């Protein structure tokens, strides 16, 4: 009887040994940990700032002041994409506001109404806007204005869809280039006009 038990134990041990031996194959592993997805950024700065940038703040404007060569009021917007992906530059939410301020004698004589609150200066000032590819501040060969007309005729937006790569810049120039003279220039005396606009950097062309 002892022999049978001993034989059985030997057999079990032997079988265990066989099972243990058959589980040890060669193997190897490779890993793919830390897969991370981080959103890119579109970050627009106007002349290096996130705050409002007012470039024109002119007073005492009159016809002769505008038409003197090389003295036209001139400004430049340097738009920078400080984000990490390319974007498309557009100008939106353009709002023109004309204010009468005082309505003085010469204005009334030219047909303005003494009780008027709406000014007329925006009918006389001509604005040119363009992308300054050569970055010399002036219209060069191959550069076309995307606007050349009276301030009062500005559209509500310019869908330029100008591609600016990450870290890239674009320069937009604005010039008050002409005074649309008429027999009623006096309508604009003491008046003021304001242009509000918003630069947007969009991920997709509009």
Tokens of 130: 């363009």
Between 16 and 62, whose beta carbon lies closer to Ca ion? 62
Buried b (16+ CB within 10 A) or exposed e, 16-53: eeeeeeeeeeeeeeeeeeeeeeeeeebebbbeeeeeee
Cβ count within 10 A of residue 116: 15
Nearer to Ca ion, 41 or 134 (CB): 134
Give min distance, CB of 152 to Ca ion, in A: 12
Distance in Å, CB of 34 to Ca ion, minimum: 48
- Among residues 50, 51, 38, 83, which one has the least CA distance to residue 203? 83
Nearer of residues 132 and 178 to Ca ion, judged by Cβ = 132
Footprint of Ca ion (CB under 5 A) = 100-101, 107, 112, 116, 119-120, 132, 134, 136, 140, 187, 190-191
Q: Shortest gap between Cβ of 84 and Ca ion (angstroms)? A: 29
Smallest gap from residue 103 Cβ to Ca ion (A): 5
Cα separation of 140 and 68, whole Å? 20
Closest to Ca ion by CB, 8 vs 140, is 140
The CB-of-137 to Ca ion minimum distance in angstroms stands at: 7
Residue 107 or 178 having the CB closest to Ca ion: 107
Q: How far is CA 113 from CA 3, 101, 107, 185, in A?
A: 129, 12, 8, 15
């Amino acid at each position: 009887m002892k022999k049978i038990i001993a034989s059985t134990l030997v057999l079990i041990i032997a079988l265990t040994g066989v099972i243990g031996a058959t589980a040890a194959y060669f193997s190897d592993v490779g890993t793919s940990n830390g897969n991370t997805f981080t959103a890119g950024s579109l970050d627009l700065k106007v002349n290096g700032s996130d705050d409002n940038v007012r470039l024109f703040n002119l007073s005492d404007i009159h016809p002769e002041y505008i038409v003197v060569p090389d003295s036209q009021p001139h400004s430049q917007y340097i738009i920078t994409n400080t984000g990490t992906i390319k974007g498309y530059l557009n100008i939106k939410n353009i709002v023109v506001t004309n204010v009468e301020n005082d309505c003085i004698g010469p204005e009334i004589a030219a047909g303005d109404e003494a009780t008027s609150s709406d000014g007329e200066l925006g009918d006389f000032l001509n604005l040119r806007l363009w992308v300054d590819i050569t970055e010399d501040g002036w219209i060069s060969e191959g550069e076309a204005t995307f606007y050349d007309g009276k301030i009062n005729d500005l559209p509500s937006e310019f869908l330029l869809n100008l591609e600016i790569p990450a870290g890239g810049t674009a320069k937009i120039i604005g010039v008050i280039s002409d005074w649309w003279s008429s027999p009623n220039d006096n309508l604009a005396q003491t008046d003021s006009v304001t242009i509000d606009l918003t630069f947007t950097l969009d991920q997709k062309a509009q």
